[in-house]
Amino acid sequence: MNENLFASFITPMMFGLPLVTLIVLFPSLLFPTSNRLVNNRLISLQQWMLQLVSKQMMSIHNTKGQTWTLMLMSLILFIGSTNLLGLLPHSFTPTTQLSMNLGMAIPLWAGAVITGFRNKTKASLAHFLPQGTPTPLIPMLVIIETISLFIQPVALAVRLTANITAGHLLIHLIGGATLALMSINTTTALITFIILILLTVLEFAVAMIQAYVFTLLVSLYLHDNT
């Protein structure tokens, strides 16, 4: 119970070197490329899920937007697998780091916005000034729309960081409470343990949902600019 509450969010080190790079690259080993004519069940399940998500997510895009399919599918696989691996005991979750999430959100957002300014310059500029705006409000609305545009990647990163961090903190707190209650009241400890199991199941769902939400919002930003 004396353990630091935020110890699991500290970047792991070995011989004075951060292990973040190895941890980030590890999920790619979970999705091997099969050269067989008939795939096994795991790879078939992965391909089916990818086809389902890509069909649902990319159906709203035109030809230019669909060129981002591979990048968006790689993004959802990376975030989803990283979130799930972070639920393992004594593991580190890179998506709890705001700096990493900003590193994913800002380039994708910037790419979508630059694509919009290149292909739909007038329509992109028109978003800064809604039609029918009174003349005295024009400067204020332009400033507000500009701020709302630049805050989009920050909202993406903060949403993912907050949801994953909150779930890990709850699991840590309830797990510590369960251990403390075992020597005091077995019945209460059992109830707390059941709550911990239910919360862990919920966190598995949250891990996948947050990966989907992050990728979906990037897809919507892309759709607005293509």
Bridge partners (DSSP) listed for residue 164: none
Residue 2 scores a pLDDT above 60: no
* CA 10, 15, 17, 21 torsion-angle sign: negative
Proportion of the chain above pLDDT 90, given as a percent? 10
Assess contact for 122 and 225: CB atoms under 8 A: no
Domain containing 157 equals 1-225
Average pLDDT value for the chain: 81
Residue 1 scores a pLDDT above 50: no
User: What is the C-alpha R_g of the chain?
Assistant: 22
Range of weakest confidence among 34-38, 81-85, 126-130, 146-150: 34-38
Total of domains in the chain: 1
pLDDT tier at 7, thresholds 50, 70, 90 = low
The pLDDT of residue 157 is: 92
The torsion angles phi and psi of 208, rounded to 5 degrees, stand at -75, -40
pLDDT in tens, 28-86: 776 666 676 667 777 777 778 778 888 888 788 888 888 888 888 888 888 888 888 88
Please state whether the predicted TM-score (pTM) of the whole model is above 0.75: yes
Range of weakest confidence among 5-14, 115-124, 186-195: 5-14
Q: How far is CA 61 from the centre of its chain?
A: 21
DSSP for 40-109?
-HHHHHHHHHHHHHHHHHHTT--HHHHTTHHHHHHHHHHHHHHHHHTTSTT---GGG-HHHHHHHHHHHH
CA distances from 153 to 29, 68, 218 (A): 28, 18, 9
pLDDT in tens, 170-218: 888 888 888 888 888 888 888 888 998 998 899 889 988 999 899 989 9
14 sits in which H/E element: strand 13-14
